[in-house]
Structure 1
Amino acid sequence: MELSGANGQFALDLYRALCKESEGPRLTSLVISPLSISTALAMVYLGARNNTEAEMGKVMRFSQVSDVHAHFNALMEKITAPSSSHTLNLANRLFGEKSSSFSQEFLGEIQKNYLADLQAMDFLQASEEARVQINQWVKEKTEDKIKELLKAGVLTHMTRLVLVNAVYFKGSWMHRFREENTKEMPFKITRTETRLVQMMHQVRKLPFGYVPEHELQVLELPYTDKQLSMFIILPPEETSLGKVMSKLTIAKLLEWTDPANLDDGSDVVLHLPRFKLETSASLAGTLTVLGMGSLFDAGSADLSGMSGDGGLFISTLAHSAVCDVNEEGTEAAAATAAIASFCMMREEHFTADHPFLFLIMHNPTRSILFLGRYCGPQ
């Protein structure tokens, strides 16, 4: 299995679990950066041993990828390559208690493969100061979009290791929306509830597909140099996003968004909400449910590849993502179904006026940078 496929399947597993946790009388919007989470966890995987290593390898599919860390290094180099059309900053760091002795071999491998450092912190005597310092680092890496990743009280004198990931993306559409075409329109949150949103509008030839098996519409909105694209997956009004997610695999997702399966010869009459999403989550509980529990348990974690002192475990895994979609573009901090295209039809209507899935993908590597759902104003 290639690394992008492993990361993609883990992204879907994690996203499904987070959606299940947030189940309620009505859906809530949710966005995460799977690539950032996978990259940060890969650094921990480098130091994991025995059962902890086996659990991580199984849940994240790392055990199916040869030389995971070299592949991550190559992947990060491709994704963060300088571009004149967008900004993409991916930053990961481990913050460790200064009294713990970390392996020089581990630190060297982290630096070589992930261009990242482990920063010593005084959690024992100054956990609140450490929290402020970590939040400031995240704030700088996300261009002030994520101001308080770690909430008050999250760190204590018992904290030994904190894993933090931060990602910032800002891109401009290849085909920008005109602000004067944005109008207030109703968004169907549920069958009985609607709320007004600012609905952007344009008519343009855009890559479009249809998945008959699930009656899904798929639309690609490329950013200016086509290195990155936002894909929107729109089910029929009567089909819940949960139903779509329950059947979604990375193979299907990659097939649905494959350029070869999208028709770009028809005009698409597009209505898409202008929206901004922010999600903050502590992922330890979610990852435990997925099968990575030992990593977060003081009694069973084996991170002896990081430190031979023993007793080291991940006490906090915090993740925040912000995604801002507007007329200019996007600012974000945070294979079985046949696809029928309609080459004979010259016009398609794509009206995103009810809950939909979206993802931002790095096209050359087919890596998912952001994955989310928009369910209307909260």
Structure 2
Amino acid sequence: VFFLSLLSFLCLLALSGLCCDDTTSEFSVRLYHRMQAAGGQENILFSPLSVAVALGMVELGARGASLQEIRQAVGFGHLLPGVEFSLLQNLTEALPDDDAHYVIRFANSLFLQEGFSFNPDFLHLMKKYFRAEVETVDFSDSAAVAERINTWVENHTESKIRALLSADDFSSVTRLTLVNAVYFRGSWKNQFRPENTRTFSFSRDDGSEVQTLMMYQQGDFYYGEFSDGSQEAGGVYQVLEMPYEGEDTSMMIVLPRQEVPLASLEPIIKAPLLEEWANNVKRQKVEVYLPRFKVEQRIDLKSTLQELGIKKIFTNDADLSAMTDGKDLYIGKAVQKAYLEVTEEGAEGAVGSGMIALTRTLVLYPQVMADHPFFFVIRNRRTGCILFMGRVMTPEVIEPNDHDFDSM
């Protein structure tokens, strides 16, 4: 359950009092583009935050070229060696265990093959920086190991992330699995009223349409219209930032024009553009039509990270000698499973009843009609830290025989 996280490196820099760093945010965007290239017409969801922490845990145990690959790929090459661990520690300690505004569950664990032992200094640093648990298992009993890890993950994510790994993910040669889980639940500052939710047609980029539950509200949000000078993104596109309670955390939605596929907008997404959006949206009254959606995705990050330059830790050339004296120790699995649900309350929302078709009305204010694919980030507005990044190509689909669905 290699819940890897990149963009939290930018959180960690910010939360420690340093500004967000373009190199780390660029690394996060590069990871998104890799997933996009392999994703076809699928939804995407991953947690840059968890990638950073998991890579930090591996970095603690790495030496030589294995260590340098991680530092270079993530953008830490300009820092003094070891500084990033204090930054990561500040990040994780800044996340509340429980808060009235939002809930974030954050847990790390290393699972090592029985018969190996961890370096005591490594164990001490893992607890100091990451509050991480360390356990030994017998990977040859793959079914039992999968069940044990899956239960651990489920318990640490309020039962939202299930069945992360299967027996097929392990073999008699598996020696090390790194598990990092993060779960977020926030409540909107301005909640949608369930009675305003209606069935609506969502136009997918392949030309097909699905019926979904469309939430609606008129309220004060951060909003801006942007244009790509080269027309690569299809001209003007909209950016809407909707704060969660407490206003420290928000969801930023980036929506191309109705007739422009998201694939035309995605190539322009770069780290500096994320900052440009955040700095230039203005608070104003906006009409928002946003589909309820739930994205749950399991991503094999091993090949993606290798493409980004982090290669040795996955091969026999790995040098993890700061972690354990075991020879030929390398990471066999790099998997992330992320879960995000967006509803009227921002958490699990009630289903509205008596749905009727929604029609466009006279537009008095800027209107964000997310009835086609969009890109999003969930970020800390104060620090720029990105908790989740992804896209919605298909929201929750309402079948005609569902009790929520009225004939259109």
Structure 2 length-normalised TM: 0.83
Amino acid at match of 2:323: M
1:50 aligns with 2:82: no
1:36 aligns with 2:55: no
Alpha-carbon RMSD across the aligned residues, in angstroms, is 1.9
Query: What corresponds to 2:212 in structure 1?
Result: 197
Amino acid at match of 1:225: G
Equivalent residue in structure 2 for 1:170, among 185, 190, 195: 185
Query: What corresponds to 2:332 in structure 1?
Result: 315
| 1:81 CA drift (Å) | 5.7
1:263 aligns with 2:282: yes
Equivalent residue in structure 2 for 1:115, among 131, 135, 153: 131
CA contact (8 A) 2:143 2:166 kept: no
Equivalent residue in structure 1 for 2:164, among 149, 157, 165: 149
Equivalent residue in structure 2 for 1:324, among 338, 341, 355: 341
CA contact (8 A) 2:373 2:391 kept: yes
Instruction: Please state whether the residue corresponding to 2:308 is helix, strand or coil.
Output: helix
Unaligned runs of 5+ in 1: 332-344
Distance 1:51 1:38, change over 3 A: same
1:251 aligns with 2:251: no
CA contact (8 A) 1:208 1:263 kept: yes
User: Aligned partners of 2:211, 2:98: CA distance in 1, in Å?
Assistant: 38
| 1:127 CA drift (Å) | 2.8
User: Aligned partners of 2:227, 2:198: CA distance in 1, in Å?
Assistant: 31
Query: What corresponds to 1:137 in structure 2?
Result: 152
1:183 aligns with 2:193: no
Instruction: Please state whether the residue corresponding to 1:206 is helix, strand or coil.
Output: strand
User: Aligned partners of 2:394, 2:136: CA distance in 1, in Å?
Assistant: 42
- Report Cα offsets for 1:207-244 as digits up to 9, x if no partner: 10111225221111111111211110111234333333
1:349 aligns with 2:363: no
- Report Cα offsets for 1:115-152 as digits up to 9, x if no partner: 1122111224x232121111100000011111111023
User: Aligned partners of 2:75, 2:136: CA distance in 1, in Å?
Assistant: 30
Equivalent residue in structure 1 for 2:104, among 88, 105, 124: 88
Count of aligned pairs: 357
Amino acid at match of 2:78: Q
- Report Cα offsets for 1:298-318 as digits up to 9, x if no partner: x21111111223211000111
Query: What corresponds to 2:142 in structure 1?
Result: 127
| 1:7 CA drift (Å) | 4.1
**Percent identity over paired residues:** 35
User: Aligned partners of 1:153, 1:228: CA distance in 2, in Å?
Assistant: 38
Instruction: Please state whether the residue corresponding to 1:52 is helix, strand or coil.
Output: helix
Structure 1 length-normalised TM: 0.90
Query: What corresponds to 2:254 in structure 1?
Result: 233
1:364 aligns with 2:382: yes
Query: What corresponds to 2:36 in structure 1?
Result: 19
User: Aligned partners of 2:307, 2:199: CA distance in 1, in Å?
Assistant: 41
Unaligned runs of 5+ in 2: 1-8, 14-19, 349-362, 398-408
| 1:190 CA drift (Å) | 2.3
User: Aligned partners of 1:191, 1:276: CA distance in 2, in Å?
Assistant: 20
User: Aligned partners of 1:119, 1:184: CA distance in 2, in Å?
Assistant: 48
